[in-house]
Amino acid sequence: MKHSGITIKSVRELDSMREAGRIVSVAKVKLSEAIEPGVTTAELDSVFEAEIRRQGAVPSFLGLYGFPATICTSFNEEIVHGIPSDRVVQSGDILSLDVGAVVEGFHSDSAFSLGVGEITEEQRKLIDATRESLKAGIGQAKAGNRVGDISAAVQAYAEPLGYGIVRQYVGHGIGRDLHEDPQVPNFGIAGRGPLLREGMTLAIEPMLNLGTWKTAVMEDGWTVVTADGSLSAHFEDTIMITSNGAEVLTSP
Ligand code: MG
Ligand code: MG
């Protein structure tokens, strides 16, 4: 069923979304355990893909729009859509991992950033603030609120801390397609935008930069970086709107 172009999932469909989310949640733990100085991002891609397939899911991103891997791995000034390769993870890196899985035709989508080995206070604060800004957004994801309430909550958390909020890449509805209506920006005005209803599923995903919010795309045509080369972090969860707030599907 659609409401204003936004899909409202049936109970059976929501169960598939839950399972796609649960598998990603478990596989994220496996992936985190594999991240250490010396590992390559291609090896991390294999770890995640093997784990979701073992659990009966298939990759969400592989082949989508032509993307060549199961996960996205983005280092430091890279914001999103980095392609796994033989690049070696090193102490002092911020690594952002964007991951997804499909179960019975339904997608889940999640991302997290972590500091590898020894990182600076500035890096740690950026990562923590991005995680917290996602929580602030999720806190407004409830039936009767509007998309703008999520957007405004993320912005109200991140902006006073001085971070640049990425504008060109935003959260989204999710279900049979990875990217569905509505767009869920990480900036906006409370009370505006589409009404949130029980049975809607959204991916909320703030990306915060130490410097400018402006972005650029690298020569590979995929990797999005900060325009000024400053560090970036990214957190994302797929959530379901219930009668009782948001149910987070992709994290415990
Ligand atoms: Mg994602
Ligand atoms: Mg997403």
pLDDT tens figures, 118-129: 999 999 999 999
Q: Residue 185 Cα, ligand 1 centroid: separation in angstroms? A: 14
Tokens of 222: 């995929």
Report which bound ligand comes closest to the CA of 204.
2
Give the CATH number of the domain where residue 190 resides. Answer: 3.90.230.10
Report which bound ligand comes closest to the CA of 99.
1
| pLDDT in the model for residue 5 | 77
Cα–Cα distance for residue pair 43/140, rounded to 1 Å: 37
Helices (H) and strands (E) counted in the chain, each on its own, are 4, 17
6 lies in a domain? no
Q: Residue 227 Cα, ligand 1 centroid: separation in angstroms? A: 21
Per residue in 213-239, pLDDT (tens digit) is 999 999 999 999 999 999 999 999 999
Domain that holds residue 94: 11-247
Q: Report the candidate in 175, 171, 174, 143 with the shortest Cα–Cα distance to residue 12.
A: 175
Cα–Cα distance for residue pair 69/60, rounded to 1 Å: 10
Q: Report the candidate in 134, 136, 144 with the shortest Cα–Cα distance to residue 196.
A: 144
Q: What is the pTM of this model?
A: 0.98
4 lies in a domain? no
Cα–Cα distance for residue pair 52/229, rounded to 1 Å: 33
128 lies in a domain? yes
Report which bound ligand comes closest to the CA of 110.
1
> Backbone phi, then psi, for 189, in 5-degree steps?
-115, 125
Portion of the chain with pLDDT greater than 70, in percent: 100
Q: Residue 92 Cα, ligand 2 centroid: separation in angstroms? A: 26
87 lies in a domain? yes
Domain count, the chain: 1
